Amino acid sequence: MATLGYRLKRKLLKLTVAPVLGRKRAWGWLAQRAELHFHQNNQWRQTADFYQQTQVLFAHFGFGPDAFDGKTLIDLGAGSRLRTTYFRNAKLVVIEPLADEFQRTIPWCDLATAARVFSTAAEDRISELSGEADGVVSINVLDHCYDLAPILGNVAGYLKQGGVAFLSFDAHDDTDLLHPLRLGDRSVEGSLAGTGLVVEQKTTGLGPLGPNYGQGRAVNYWLRRTA
C-alpha cells in the first residue's frame, strides 16, 4: 500500500507540474521572443499618448502622482517603457524578464532611469527584495506570464507589512502566443491562500479607456500584505 501510495503521489505530481513546465518552455522559447519583437517594433510607446494614457489609467484607479512619494515601488513586468514614472519621487525597482534585451536593442527604452533593474521573470524570487517594497504595481502583465502562484507569493514576499499591491490584467480562458496564461477570478483568489495578501478591492474595466487592455476583460485587484 505504501508503494502504491508513493507511486500515486508521483503520478499526481507529474500531472500537476507538467503543464507548468510546458508553459514555461513555450514562454521562454516562443512568447518572450514574440514579446521582444512586439516591443522593438511598437510605435505607440514612443509617443506622448502612452504617458497620457498612463495618467488617465492611474487617476481612474485612484492613485495620485504622490502616492509613493519617498517610497519603494516595484514595477512588475515593466515592459520597455515605464508607466510608473507617473509616481513622483518614488524609488522605482523594475522586474522585467526582457529588461536586458530591451535596454540593449531599443533606443527609447527608459528602464535605466529606475533605481534598480532586474532582468528576471516574475515567477523567480529575488531574495534581496524581500520586505523592501511599499508597493508593487503590475499593469497588463499577469496573462503574459506562465505560472500565477509563485508570482503572488513573490509579490507578498517583496512587500513590507501593510504594503499594497495593485495588479491589473486581462482575464480570459483562451490563450495565444503572447498570452499563455489562463486567468480568472477563481484562479487569482485561489492562489492567494497562504501568501498573507488579502483582497481590499476588486474592479473590472479601465474606466474611460474601455473594458480591457486587448484580450478578455480587465480585472483589477488591490491587495494588502497583512501577515
- Average pLDDT over the chain reads 89
pLDDT at position 166, please?
A: 98
Percent of the chain with pLDDT over 70: 89
pLDDT at position 176, please?
A: 66
pLDDT at position 1, please?
A: 40
pLDDT band at 171 (very low <50, low <70, confident <90, very high): confident
- The enclosing domain of 52 has a CATH number of 3.40.50.150
State yes or no: pLDDT of 29 exceeds 60: yes
State yes or no: pLDDT of 19 exceeds 80: no
Mean pLDDT of 158-169: 97
State yes or no: pLDDT of 57 exceeds 80: yes
Spatial distance between the Cα atoms of 8 and 176, rounded to a whole number of angstroms: 32
Q: To 10 degrees, the CA torsion angle through 179, 31, 177, 22?
A: -90
pLDDT at position 11, please?
A: 38
Mean pLDDT of 59-87: 98
For residue range 78-93, what is the model confidence (pLDDT) as tens digits?
999 999 999 999 999 9
Contact 93, 114 (CB under 8 A): yes
CA separation (Å) from 222 to 70, 107, 113, 135, 170?
Answer: 21, 34, 26, 10, 15
**Which tops the pLDDT comparison, 75 or 34?**
75
Closest CA to 61 of 214, 204, 178: 204
Task: Determine which helix (DSSP H) or strand (DSSP E) holds 170, and give its type and residue range.
Answer: strand 159-171
State yes or no: pLDDT of 31 exceeds 60: yes
Spatial distance between the Cα atoms of 79 and 99, rounded to a whole number of angstroms: 8
Q: Quote the domain boundaries for residue 147.
A: 2-225
C-alpha cell at 30: 516562443
C-alpha cell at 171: 482575464
Say how many domains are in the chain. Answer: 1
CA separation (Å) from 91 to 24, 118, 136, 175, 217?
Answer: 31, 14, 12, 34, 31
Q: Which of 112-121, 170-179, 182-191 has the lowest mean pLDDT?
A: 170-179
**Which tops the pLDDT comparison, 221 or 190?**
221
**Which tops the pLDDT comparison, 64 or 145?**
64
State yes or no: pLDDT of 12 exceeds 80: no
